[in-house]
Structure 1
Amino acid sequence: MLEFLGHFHPVIVHLPIGVLLVAIFLQWLSGKEKYRGVKPAIAPILLSGSIASIVACVTGYFLSISDDYDQSSVNWHMWMAIGVVLVSLVLYTKEVNPKVEVSKKFLSIGLVVLITVTGHFGGTLTHGSDYLSKPFFKMFSGDSVVNTAIKPVANVQEALVYDDVIKPILETKCYSCHNENKQKGKLRMDDIALLLKGGKHGKIIDVNNVDSSEMLQRLLLPTDNEKHMPPKEKPQPTESQVALLHWWISNNADFKKKVKDIQQPDKIKPVLLALQKPVIIKKQALNLPATAVEKGDEKIIQQLTKKGFVVLPVAQNTNYLMVTLTDAKKVIKKDIDLLGKLSNQIVSLKISNSTFENEAIGSLSKLSNLRKLNLANTNLTDKELPALNSLQHLQNLNLTGTKVSAQAILQLQKLKELKTMYLYQTSISKSDSLKLKTAFAKTEIDFGNYFVPLLPSDTTLVKQVPAK
């Protein structure tokens, strides 16, 4: 019950601030002959502001004992707030009884200062100690990269795994709730020792069983799950960032080694290379159908969820859905037929790193409303590809890591709305890629195989050629 009441603090706390500041403003205004008429309103406004301050203090105290904040900052915030209550009550007393021997001007100025300082400590608890100074210094810094963005690494192989690759991810996605001033779940992540120690539920990193690490499990939960981290209202890590965290933990979560000293699977190499250059991802919004659609059958959605599918709305206030399934050992025809029962609602489907049963891929043709389809790293072949021609509204197609040929892809020219197609890590030759670009003139095709330029700061080994 105390925790429930404490969570009303952010709602209530702004009321006394506004009310008391209005009272002080009216007090100043009433000193002018023209506005003497507002004077009777000052006392009741001050009283209501004082009462609201008391309620804010009580709920703030309940919040401080039910959540995990830095005790020093909490104490400063609390005592400043109590000061606001006391000074506002004295100012009210002075307003109703002018004989009280204390300067009204002194009380008013003191109250404004106390409100400001109290608000500052409240902001420190919520947003961090540098929430005021960060934008100020950002204005005068010559760095064109926003502080909250992850800066590119000049030479990723020479970079420190934790300091240059992993820590920036934690800084931008985790530190806001797990820092020196605020430790949600009694977890602090900006200190290595405390990161390894974990929170009130134990350790969040398990190097012996990577997939059971709570850090990764929380990240991979559906965003609408209350245990998902970071909260859905905050910026979410990308798939590449989650992959880097998994790779780091699987290599004993090392804090000192360089990237070149740690084993790098083929899947992680392009992710690491991408860190050397800031990548601007052009997100093309899906052109959803103009007409609204009825809500999908909840029973069907529950059945899909039990089978490992993640079903989420593509946006707020819409019944159109996005469906995701990764790392499935086998996707059977019945699974796709189940998706077909939501064919009107599903506009985005991702089934990656999975194996399809015979004829299962062909059943995707039932999803006539699809705008986005990701079949990366599946057993899709030329035989099944023509079935996708029935997806006339398809705008985005990802065939990365499949065994499709250029000849089969040419059969998809009937997809007139196709805007982007991803074909890297396929067997398509350079000459065939030119044919595809010509055939799909209005489609942006990504073949991968990016070239990373040699930087002046890179070291180059030069071997002397022996004399003949």
Structure 2
Amino acid sequence: MLLLPYFPKTDLPVLLLFIGRFHPLILHFPIVIIFLTLALEFLYKTNLLQRNERTIALMLGLASLSVFFVVLAGYFLFASGEYTGELIMSHFKAGIFAGSGILITTVLYLIGQYSNRKILNFYFTSLILTNAIVGYASHLGGTITHGKDYLTEYLPEIFNKRNTATKPKEEMLVYEDLIVPFLTTKCISCHNEHKTKGDYLMTSYATLVKGGKSGNSGLVKHYPEQSELYKRITLPVDHDDHMPPEGKKPLSLHEIEIMEYWINAGASTKQLLIDIPQDSAITQTIESYLPESRRLNGKILKQKAEKERLLTELTELAKKLNVSVQEDQTSEENFFTLSMQFPPANFTGEQLKELQAYFLLFTKVSLVASDIKDDDLFLIGQMTNLRELYLQKTAINGSGLVYLKDLQYLERLNLSFTQTNDATVLEVLQFPSLKQVYLFGSQVSPQVLQALRANQLSREFLLEEGPYN
């Protein structure tokens, strides 16, 4: 197990790739067993439970047997190249140490139980350390799947009943402190200045009222049923016009009820919570929703502070590298864009490496007229949130496009004025989400371009220079 990180990553048989996919499914088994073993040992030592050596031996045996398959499947998943980056490597190594710890703990227990009782002291220490490593490895796995704040998101609410960053209830406004937070977290990503779905902008009260291309007003005071916004959020979930769309987190029943009440009451931006009559039917709904509202407000403020910190760091680094870094205004999360300045300065793979700690934060990268080469696409392949990539007027020939095949969100790729040819352009067929490829001035022949257009109807292959960012 400890030697696995040093094994060369090679093309694995399909069967092993298939086995690797089971890693997230089976890893919970040894985790639960080793945690439960430690819990039982504490119960035994405090005399809360009568000791049963066979139970411990059985549990450690099951943990050792199962962790062998978990680590092996994890290695197959890691070696497949589907996941890359420092976080993945840290999780991989922590998982190996956790698995090795379980095996060592089991051996120490068996020796101590059946050969040398003094070894049991080492066993118990090993059990504690192994649980700590398992917990750390599990935390890294959760971070990969759900984001770095997944485990700690609710901690501020546990230790503080009221988020200190939010107003006291007496000062809270229905629109600003209840409506805006859930619209910001669930709607603004598709209805902002940079991405205005249905021509409906939701970044201010005035634009909420105005509405979108339907021609109907978004908000009609006192009439929820005539307000396009309310109608869209109350349509059946399977309706094409239901908002938010499928795949986005829908508004909760409380949020819809608060929206309905607010519009009925006149949709005022100045209405205070304390102005709502205590006998109103909405009062209990608001009381139940307040903790969630405060959590959303706190989350928005935290994300804003974090984005400002990251932007400061990236701006300083970008200045040093003679590139430009901007906020990704199309996302409510902490994402950024990277582009060359004009006129472009020398920018090679070595400069790109200096941004490696921030690779997961980039959604759009424009390296037009840079000195990036095909080998440097390996680095870009680690930008797992990348959606748009502009490489025109670089020296690449397309041989490095294979490094981009695991970018799950990449939708637009510009290869105009590059040496990409008939053979190398075929790599883009492996890109899971690609929608547009620009090939003007490349070495791709008309015959191959025609074949791509005929057989890849879900993608556009464009003989246009295309956008630069």
TM-score, normalisation: structure 2 = 0.33
Q: Which has the higher helix share?
A: 2
